[in-house]
Amino acid sequence: MTPTPFVDKNGNYLGIFTSPPIGGVAVPEAPDDARQVWTGKAYGPVPDKPQEEQDWEVLADAETQAEILVELYKNLVKEGGTIQPDAIDTTAAAKFEKLKTAVDRKEAR
């Protein structure tokens, strides 16, 4: 048998198999994202990630944190005062706010 994508009875993607899995329903194509649900004619939209997962990605992004620290340090040395996010370049400021929000949410849990 040819490798075929399958979903379960609820439309949840199971994978591509050469033999039908128990309870599997063959569909014409695999989804772009495994979280998409087959609606009978097409896959639905990609669901949003839960906020906690989005926060984790931000907290785990060491490169972003390093960029923020470098920008903060540059401004501290240059201005010799407290650092406000708007004193940092636009990209780093946005990353700083995103990181700060994620940290605040984590501390609130």
Residue 77 has what pLDDT?
61
HEC letters along the chain: CCCEEEECCCCEEEEEECCCCCCCEECCCCCCCCCCEECCCCECCCCCCCHHHHHHHHHCCHHHHHHHHHHHHHHHHHHCCCCCHHHCCHHHHHHHHHHHHHHHHHHHC
- Residue 7: pLDDT band with limits 50, 70, 90: very high
Predicted pLDDT at 55: 72
Confidence at residue 97, expressed as pLDDT on a 0 to 100 scale: 74
> What pLDDT, in 10s, does the model give residues 20-30?
999 999 999 99
pLDDT in tens, 22-69: 999 999 999 999 989 999 999 999 988 777 777 777 677 766 777 777
In this prediction the pTM is 0.47
